[in-house]
Structure 1
């Protein structure tokens, strides 16, 4: 089911913090007078003179080589139509975010108040000195064809109208693979296209470049088949008109092999699908509703292969599979254009990738065990980390072979590493976790449901199908807050512990049995189980819920104790630990312990290392562990260096298969250059540390909080390690986003717990 977006939530998302979705961040230090002098006057004059002497130096001394202009005049925005350039800006900012997330490309979005194609062409052409490439967006047909065509002629940088070519490239890849599965020759298939806008026209042209014959296609619009004898045809429609005795969409679909819809939802019925040839291919790409609902199409034809634009059905045709990586490859060879050869290379690379074994990280992200090439998997999933290292090199090679590359790549292995490092290929960690959670949502009980943030997060969890919230607290107060915040939680379970007499009695017996030899009386147990942190933990312990979330408004020690009493630790675990995921521009780092153990011994550090390593593997990453100190391999004396050196030796002996190094200072742990120069024996050389073990609670806690505030890193956690069942404690004052992230982790934790 598609995600339900509320108007208030969408507006709040765009206004919270700084308005909009983007900002400009300097890439050079600006902390001293010398820095300022180098960045601006007088130092900036030197690169200016170098560029004046050789204009190609602009790529060496400025950001041009990694900067795309996302440009529109707002005349065809999403399904909203001509809403104007100002109203289109949120969409263009969103496109910039996708460029950055998936390909590490910077974007300036430019909204131009001009509808005259010739004037718009001149404005965009004049921007060439600024950008390494131009992504045209949401410009209406037929003007978009002229604008792109003329800009390609007049500019010496890549230009692509993604509305035209993005869908063509992705669906073209799907078509190639679908035809291979049904064993049909592309030169002989009968193609029906419904829609005559920019995407439909570009897709049809692209399919012809793949091999579809002109005489074998029929294009329809809202008036029916586009025929030669129709008086209303413009030059574009004349390009695809037919003189055959075909007048309606039903006429066209008779014995057709492929239907491509880029029109409107729910305009094709089951009877029309039944008219198609054996093993029909249906690409119903209208959004948000396809031309025929997926379920109806599959019901009509068992032999049908189908793709839509939706993420809740197999074979999603999503432009994000293409444009970030196409521009990445074009920029990296300084291509002067994005030509047909480059688009074909992208489509073929996407098609080929779908035939390769699917990594576990992708299977787990989508809750699948056997994703593989076939009718339900024609093209890769958007979260596949191999997309950038597959498509960008293919596009770059095609640019080089077709003669439009000014800066050819020589070392392809080095280029692949550069691509991975450019985006921090593991930055999608939470996207993968959330996608995996959605495949098998679990019951998550919130102890602090009388809090606005918790209720907002519960709404997101419910709407996005990440989990099934259970709200714990005073019923009247929760219902009042739901109403005051215009939330829709009508189908969500609300439990007031004071109303649950049978559960109180049951939980009292369980808690007393667990703690009677720890000094707890039956009356104390009866009193404690009415408290939400005990009640919620006991719900998980008894199977009434799958995971427990608390800690937003209470200190960590007070929050964790009821779960330790009620649920306890895993077999063989002596103590729990806390881990933070720090999402940084250099990728994710795992910090432990920053929340639980005040001053662990060397032996206790070893246990923390084991728990943390298992948690890192849970996120489908290899733990590369650095044990931190203020000393490097015995360079300084003291209790901490002695403890961490001993912990390192013990851990290496206990976990011989893990990459473990220490004791070492934090900067050395993450700086391979220092290690190569000073400590060439380090096991972390070539295996950059991603898991940092702190010697005590103070250092870990200080480090993660400083990095969060000063390093612009996102802290996810703390993730509680070693509990017998899924319990996760929020950071005091967590944001709604942080709560949602933690719930996703808890759900996947519960999924894993079920499988054990």
Structure 2
């Protein structure tokens, strides 16, 4: 599991602005007219429309895409009853997941009320504001009554995710696990450890799927749930066994399935030996399961196991469900989330796991063997197909069961709408980072005695993204680490001025490589005292897998050593650079932004080819626009002529590529404008461009820097394209996050040299 440093967690939440969420206006508010429309007097008009027809609130406000995450803090994570204020970071985090995975806006609401009647009254009163309610971290048994009564009283979708999220995801895993081992759900014997909200909800959903009540035995901290107990809630009592069982060992005899939603290490390994052939064990206590995964697998080789942890197969993760369930419910304005919708989500998840896994998912998890079976019962959380699989299934179930207030007529168009809500950018770096973790490589950093590099190296090492090699003064690194409480375990430190023998070896290699290019042995020895040459030679000799530099030197000075030592890949005439612009409308790719100052039309064609390949490396299909200040000859000039010629040449060299130009940037990025004014363009019916090729480095550099500072987008790069081995040059003064992102890209680049950048 990922190690979390306490101070890092506190710093993450406390740095300005505090917390994890903010409110961002969705309409312009820059002029007096904008303000008059947004508030008084213009706001009166939608108010009057809504007063006449309450459903108009969905047309004129954000209600239809707004979910409240509500808690009283009585059962938070593994922390218990810590109160509403202390629960707020968790509720904000839940809101972040809603937004990230389903494009749903959230307000978190922490209520100072433990009395169920008061809690119900408060939440019911919030109905006019929200399109849906996600109840969270409310203790049992109160949570059962609260959810039941609110569902009866409210006409918007509502779900207590602690109960139903785990139930839905584990149900999909259970159905598929039983299919793998050839068992029927109506015949299995099930043992449950835990009788809280999640366990009861799981059991109720399993019964709906065909489980027989008489085949269930449930244990809580006080022992077996049986009819002699007088301390049980009615929902717990319905699962009281009539069998003469008092101990867990008795229940496990011949059991087919064990479900754990209790505490760590409550299941002894020897009890697994009592279970039936091909037992299924869902040990879902977090962070430590009821039995360690490795111990369970060693005890019963025929076991199928799931946990709540990301470092084991079959992770039962609620994020597979709740964002997409609410998305589907909101999009048809469902009055509730009913059993039919939950079962639809179960079936959708179950069926998706049986489909061929896309290459982008394989790469994200570094596992080309992902296929339906014992270690792949449910989809992975980063599977981009989840939103277009689960949400439509839930929406259709709402329609079929009569709780939808609007209908979706074209589900193919709906799937396109779902994709556009997120854009690939939401998950691009997640997939890259996951792929890097699957096979971390040695990344050498030229600026190894910079605090930013050291901090990035700690993150890369702790998260298993890369194996950092730090070039720098060993004493300075030790001092910075001590001053900033940095843990550099797992990082190799090399003070190149103390590596006389290695520098001599590298100097001789450099001399042999460049002796006819003006470098003498004496000059080679001098150059090898510079980290950019030393790091490049480490990469060249195979003592590192990727090289990152540029943090403290300008781009030109940083790239020259690598060009001299590593050089360009075979068949490539020049290198180029590209920035990834992560925006809510999707990822965009800008080239060339740092290397080629004023390329000719022919040189631009080389850049187009490198960029198209790099865009595909990031699992996107390039839609290329060659940018100018002219639209298809509307303005004369040398620059439009060059852009137009480059487009024509590129179409001939890369006939399969979607490309057009020359055109202005706003034209390229606005599909409506393209369809209206330039319907002949291939980009018009392809959603506009996602890849912009600039006519010179001045325009490309200015464009990305403006977007980075005021455009509301995250900028990643520059990604260096065309080198023989993975070399990447950071922006001067890059942030820790940018260094980590670049290192992850470098690792994936090193993993797949035949498909690299």
Structure 1 length normalisation: TM-score?
0.99
- 1:755 CA drift (Å): 7.9
| Residue in 2 that maps onto 1:105 | 104
State the partner residue of 2:601: 602
Structure 1 equivalent of residue 143 of structure 2: 144
* 2:350 corresponding residue in structure 1: 351
Pairwise CA distance, 1:426: 4.2
Structure 1 CA distance for aligned equivalents of residues 20 and 425 of structure 2: 21
| 1:712 is the counterpart of 2:712 | yes
Correspondence for 2:42: 43
Q: Are 1:397 and 2:371 an aligned pair?
A: no
In structure 1, how many angstroms separate the alpha carbons of the residues matched to 2:652 and 2:572? 18
Aligned: 1:334 with 2:329: no
Q: Is the 1:329–1:396 Cα contact (8 Å) retained in structure 2?
A: yes
What SS does the aligned partner of 1:583 have?
strand
The residue number in structure 2 matching 1:547 is 546
Aligned pair 1:170/2:169, yes or no? yes
User: 1:594–1:700: 8 Å Cα contact kept in structure 2?
Assistant: yes
Match of 2:751 in 1: 751
Partners of 1:366 and 1:38 in 2: CA distance: 48
SS of the residue corresponding to residue 163 of structure 1 reads helix
Alpha-carbon distance in 1 for matches of 2:532, 2:6:
34
Helix, strand or coil: the match of 2:454?
A: helix
Which residue number in structure 2 is paired with residue 279 of structure 1?
A: 278
Verify the 8 A CA contact 2:165 2:322 in the aligned structure 1. Answer: yes
The answer to whether 1:699 aligns with 2:699 is: yes
Shift of 1:562: 1.2
Give the distance between the partners of 2:43 and 2:236, measured in 1 at CA.
53
Mapped pair 1:646 → 2:645: yes
User: What is the distance in 2 between the residues matched to 1:13 and 1:605?
Assistant: 42
On the 8 A contact 1:166/1:323 being kept in 2, the answer is yes
For residues 498-541 of structure 1, give each alpha carbon's deviation from its aligned partner in whole angstroms, at most 9, with x where no partner exists: 11111101110111222222222221211111111111111101
Aligned to 2:268: 269
- Contact 2:474 / 2:493 at 8 angstroms: preserved in 1? yes
Do structure 1's residue 731 and structure 2's residue 752 form an aligned pair? no
Say which SS state the counterpart of residue 426 (structure 2) adopts: coil
Structure 1 equivalent of residue 198 of structure 2: 199
SS of the equivalent of 1:220 reads strand
Q: In the alignment, is the contact (CA less than 8 A) between 1:229 and 1:243 conserved in 2?
A: no
Displacement of 1:236: 3.0
Deviations along 1:130-178, one digit per CA (max 9) or x if unpaired, are 0000000011111111111111011110110000000000000001111
Distance in 1 separating the partners of 2:661 and 2:424: 26
Counterpart of 1:684? Answer: 683
Does structure 1 conserve the Cα–Cα contact (< 8 Å) formed by 2:425 and 2:583? no
State the distance in 1 between where 2:646 and 2:159 align.
Answer: 56
Question: How far did residue 601 of structure 1 move?
Answer: 0.5
Question: How far apart in 2 are the matches of 1:640 and 1:427?
Answer: 35
Greater mean deviation of Cα atoms: 511-520 or 279-288: 511-520
Find the aligned partners of 2:585 and 2:225 in 1 and give their Cα distance.
53
Other-structure match for 1:367:
366
The 3 A distance-change label for structure 1 pair 754 and 662 is closer
Partner of 1:427: helix, strand, or coil? helix
**1:475-554 maps to which residues of 2 (within 5 A)?**
475-554=474-553
1:578–1:596: 8 Å Cα contact kept in structure 2? Answer: yes
Post-superposition Cα deviations, 1:654-681, rounded to whole Å, max 9, x if no partner, equal 1111111111110111111111121111
Q: Cα offset for 1:711?
A: 1.1
Quote the offset at 1:406 in angstroms: 0.5
Structure 1 residue 98 displacement after superposition: 0.4
State how far apart, in whole Å, the 1-side matches of 2:670 and 2:306 are: 46
Q: In 2, are the aligned partners of 1:434 and 1:744 still within 8 Å (CA)?
A: yes
Q: How far 1:686 sits from its partner (Å)? A: 2.2
CA RMSD in angstroms comes to 1.1
- What is the aligned partner in structure 1 of residue 83 from structure 2? 84
Deviation at 1:8, TM superposition (A): 1.2
* Contact residue 425 and residue 584 of structure 2 kept, 8 A: no
CA distance in 1 between counterparts of 2:397 and 2:720 reads 49
**Is this contact kept in 2: 1:581–1:589, CA < 8 A?**
yes
- Counterpart of 1:324? 323
Q: Which moved more, 1:640-649 or 1:521-530?
A: 521-530
Inter-partner Cα distance in structure 2 for 1:440 and 1:40: 54
1:614-666 deviation per Cα after TM superposition (whole angstroms, max 9, x unaligned)? 11111111111100001111111111011111101111111111111111110
Superposition map of 1:210-221 within 5 A: 210-221=209-220
Q: Is the 8 A contact 2:332 2:395 kept in 1?
A: yes
Aligned residue runs from structure 1 range 586-625, under 5 A = 586-625=585-624
When structure 1 is superposed on structure 2, of 9-18 and 373-382 the one drifting more is 9-18
The aligned counterpart of 1:474 is: 473
Instruction: Give the secondary structure class of the aligned counterpart of 1:718.
Output: strand
Between 428-437 and 294-303, the greater mean CA deviation after superposition: 294-303
Q: How far did residue 754 of structure 1 move? A: 7.3
Kept in 1: contact 2:461–2:490 (CA 8 A): no
Distance across 2 between alignment mates of 1:338 and 1:233? 27
- The alignment of Structure 1 onto Structure 2 pairs a total of residues equal to 755
CA separation of 1:341 and 1:198: change in aligned 2, threshold 3 A = same
State the partner residue of 1:571: 570
- Counterpart-to-counterpart distance in 1, 2:150 and 2:621: 47
Q: Distance in 1 between matches of 2:755 and 2:585?
A: 33
Whole-angstrom distance in 1 between the partners of 2:407 and 2:672? 28
- In the TM superposition, residue 465 of structure 1 has moved relative to its aligned partner by 0.4
Residue equivalent to 2:13: 14
Classify the secondary structure of the residue corresponding to 1:4: coil
Residue 666 of structure 2: aligned partner: 667
Q: Which runs of 5+ in 1 are unaligned?
A: none
Alignment-derived partner of residue 115 in structure 2: 116
- Offset of 1:302 from its aligned partner? 1.7
The 1-side partners of 2:46 and 2:413 are apart by 27
Please tell me whether residue 154 in structure 1 is matched to residue 153 in structure 2: yes
Question: 1:226 corresponds to which residue?
Answer: 225
CA contact (8 A) 1:225 1:252 kept: no
SS in 2 for 1:259: strand
The alpha-carbon deviation at position 12 of structure 1 amounts to 1.4
The yes-or-no answer on 1:94 pairing with 2:80 is no
Query: Quick one: distance in 1 between partners of 2:754 and 2:126?
Result: 57
Does the 8 Å contact 2:547/2:727 carry over to 1? yes
Find the residue that maps to 1:549 and give its secondary structure: strand
* Higher mean C-alpha displacement, 261-270 vs 336-345: 261-270
Task: Give 1:235 deviation, angstroms.
Answer: 2.4
Q: Please state whether the residue corresponding to 1:578 is helix, strand or coil.
A: strand
Instruction: Check whether the contact 1:623–1:659 (CA below 8 A) recurs between aligned residues.
Output: yes
In structure 2, the CA distance between the partners of 1:401 and 1:491, relative to structure 1 (3 Å rule), is closer
Counterparts of 1:379-398 in structure 2, within 5 Å, are 379-398=378-397
Measure, in 1, the Cα distance between the counterparts of 2:464 and 2:755: 20
CA drift of 1:299 comes to: 1.1
Contact 1:515 1:565 (8 Å CA) reproduced: yes
Give the whole-Å Cα distance in 2 for the aligned partners of 1:437 and 1:540: 18
User: Equivalents in 1 of 2:89, 2:173: separation in Å?
Assistant: 30
Q: C-alpha separation between the residues in 2 aligned to 1:569 and 1:176?
A: 52
- Partner Cα distance (2:629, 2:401) in 1: 55
**Structure 2 residues without counterparts, runs of 5 or longer:** none
User: Is 2:63 the partner of 1:54?
Assistant: no
